[in-house]
Structure 1
Amino acid sequence: MAQNKHEVAGVPLGNIRNRNELRVVRLMPQVLAEHLDYHPSYLDIQDIYALTLNNLPPRYRQQGTIVIKEPVSDEEILRELRNAVGQVELAPTDKES
């Protein structure tokens, strides 16, 4: 019997998510709007997203998780997003010829 790739010993693990993922998605348009002359490509946006998440401490949640205190502030996410935009803007994925 084949096992689901997001299961271990019959326990589903696919619904455990990093809480910062949606927060980065929510705040990214605000940071991109600050860079009026920068028009990131599809891959640039993915790079900004991934780089930002890699530079934040992960905050995993599962169904039933109770968050008492959020140790990662929106200001910290905004700072990391700005750093990632600056880094990707200097070395974009899709270079224009």
Structure 2
Amino acid sequence: MESYEEVINNLLGSVKNKNEARVARKLISALEEIPEYDPDPLDIQDIYALALNCLPPRYKQKGTIVLSESVNDEEIMAALRVAIQKVRSNPKYAKGENV
């Protein structure tokens, strides 16, 4: 029998928030809507995290059957648009600075 520690360590690799991959796939499309915006890698990370925080989590484990998506693509794009505007309006550092 596995120890609790082994079971918990296995959880970290097997339980995922399904929205993470969906947000990552839509992020490029959302950024392409604003061609004049050239975000730094840190900006992109902030946008990704903010968008995920605006969406309900969709955790699944390996082998889970998904019967329906509770968040549609337009809701993901809306969350990304809001996140992009927040990051653009509130930069945490000056462009070109070493963070």
TM-score (normalised: structure 2): 0.85
The structure where helix makes up a greater share of residues is: 2
- 2:51 and 2:57 mapped to 1: Cα distance? 11
Equivalent residue number for residue 23 of structure 1: 22
Unaligned stretches of 5+ in structure 1? 1-6
Equivalent residue number for residue 90 of structure 1: 89
Structure 2 letter corresponding to 1:42: P
Equivalent residue number for residue 36 of structure 1: 35
* Residue identity (%): 48
Equivalent residue number for residue 73 of structure 1: 72
- 1:53 and 1:8 mapped to 2: Cα distance? 29
The 4+ residue runs of structure 1 with deviation greater than 6 A are: none
- 1:50 and 1:40 mapped to 2: Cα distance? 14
The answer to whether 1:10 aligns with 2:9 is no
TM-score (normalised: structure 1): 0.87
Q: CA RMSD in A?
A: 1.6
Structure 2 letter corresponding to 1:13: L
**Number of corresponding residues:** 91
Give the C-alpha shift of residue 64 in structure 1.
1.1
Secondary structure at 2:27 match in 1: helix
- 1:61 and 1:88 mapped to 2: Cα distance? 29
What per-residue deviation string (whole Å, max 9, x for no partner) do you get for residues 26-60 of structure 1? 00000100111110011100000000000100000
- 2:11 and 2:94 mapped to 1: Cα distance? 38
